[in-house]
Amino acid sequence: MYNTIQDLLNAFHATPDTLTGLLKNISQEQASTARGGDENWSVVEVLCHLRDAEERNLERIQQMITQDMPLIPAYDQEAWAKERNYAAAKLDKTLAAFLKFRAASIAELSKLTPDQWERAGQHSEIGKITITNYTIHLVSHDAIHLAQIARQLYS
């Protein structure tokens, strides 16, 4: 039998190592000029998106843990990219921030009981989400952007 919770935690643990490996020996210039994906973001902009998504994910998970059916508002990723000036971000600082937020997310998720993984919130666009199915979404989100970064740097 699969252990979904452990599989999700393993996938969450894998992303920082994969991301660090992809970005090893990549210069700021390379990360700022390699573009792709639907948004035509540079690698550093994709990394900023991952960092900000992880910060938001941590907030959402904490809300679902501590509140009964909290409202989980959507956010405009394009607006954040402009407001937070993703294009000017420093690769090393952005990676460090992502790693910090991911470590905090892993710590939060690792403490949950199986029942807590089923705690839910009401996403403003999607409807009811549980911590389990939200984390499945996050793992998929990681995979999509890791593949994007790999294509942009190594294709």
Of 3, 7, 19, 33, give the one whose Cα is nearest residue 95.
19
Q: How high is the pLDDT of residue 58?
A: 92
Range 130-144 average pLDDT: 96
Mean pLDDT of the chain: 95
Range 83-99 average pLDDT: 96
The model's pLDDT over 50-89, given as tens digits with 9 standing for 90+, comes to: 999 999 999 999 999 999 999 999 988 889 999 999 999 9
Q: How high is the pLDDT of residue 155?
A: 86
Residue 39 scores a pLDDT above 90: no
Contact between 11 and 139 (Cβ < 8 Å) = yes
Of 103, 96, 105, give the one whose Cα is nearest residue 138.
105
Output the domain CATH number for residue 39.
1.20.120.450
Domain count, the chain: 1
Element (H, E) at 121: strand 120-123
Q: How high is the pLDDT of residue 29?
A: 95
More confident residue, 78 or 118: 118
Q: Which domain holds residue 46?
A: 4-154
Of 150, 145, 149, 142, give the one whose Cα is nearest residue 12.
142
